[in-house]
Amino acid sequence: MATKETELTPAKRKRLLKKFGPSPKGYTTRELEQFLDLLYGMYSHVYTASQLSEVVISDPFDRSETPRQIKLVEFTDWLEAVLV
């Protein structure tokens, strides 16, 4: 959940894409934008960066039996990176 303090720089975008990969296959840009909006809405009640940095979710695009765990902030930043 990029804020002014954690703006998505080209270096950060490159790092996120290297760590988490390209856009998930089978999803349109519009669908990913809607999913990102949904996530922002679901966590809009969490007000501080420290609270957000503690939220861990299962990667919804990981179809394995045990999906990888990812911090919400990293996940939303990655989605923003693939949408640029």
DSSP character string of 53-71:
TT-EEE-TT--SSSPPEEE
Residue ranges in the chain assigned as alpha helix (H): 10-20, 29-42, 49-52, 72-83
Helices then strands, counting H and E runs in the chain, come out as: 4, 2
pLDDT confidence bin for 22, thresholds 50/70/90:
very high
Taking the C-alpha atoms of residue 64 and residue 1, their distance in angstroms, rounded to an integer, is 25
pLDDT of residue 48: 83
Count Cα neighbours of 77 within 13 Å in the Cβ-side half-sphere: 26
- Report the mean per-residue pLDDT for the chain: 90
The residue written with tokens 């296959």 in the block is 25
- Return the domain boundaries, the chain: 10-83
The pLDDT assigned to 4 comes to 45
